[in-house]
Amino acid sequence: MLKLTNVKIELLMDYDMYLFVEKGIRGGISQCSNRYAMANNKFLSNFEPSKPQNFLLYLDANNLYGWAMSQPLPLNNFKWVDFLEVDHIDENGEKGYILEVDLEYPESLHDYHSDLSLAPESSVPPGCKEKRLLTTLYPKTNYVVHIRNLKQYLKLGLVLKKVHKILEFHQESWLQPYIKMNAQFRTEAENEFEKNFYKLMNNAIFGKTMENIRKRVDIRLCSNGEKAERLISKPNFKDRTIFC
pLDDT at 98: 97
* pTM of the predicted model as reported, rounded to 2 decimal places: 0.82
pLDDT at 101: 97
Chain centre to alpha carbon of residue 138:
21
Q: Are strands 159-172 and 95-104 parallel, antiparallel or unpaired?
A: antiparallel
Residue type, 22: E
H helices within the chain, ranges in order? 2-5, 15-23, 64-69, 110-113, 147-155, 176-188, 192-210, 225-232
H helices within 45-157, ranges in order? 64-69, 110-113, 147-155
Element (H, E) at 165: strand 159-172
Contact 185, 169 (CB under 8 A): no
Q: How many whole angstroms separate alpha carbon 202 and alpha carbon 182? A: 7
Beta bridge partners of 217: none
Element (H, E) at 78: strand 73-80
| pLDDT over 80 at 244, yes or no | no
Q: How many whole angstroms separate alpha carbon 53 and alpha carbon 1? A: 50
pLDDT at 243: 85
Other C-beta atoms closer than 10 Å to the C-beta of 108 total 9
Comparison of pLDDT for 19 and 244, the residue scoring more = 19
Contact 16, 144 (CB under 8 A): no
Write the DSSP symbol of residue 54.
B
pLDDT at 146: 96
The tens digit of pLDDT for each residue in 100-146 reads: 999 999 999 999 999 999 999 999 988 888 999 999 999 999 999 99
- Tell how many helices (H) and how many strands (E) occur in the chain: 8, 6
What are φ and ψ of residue 241, in 5° steps? -125, 130
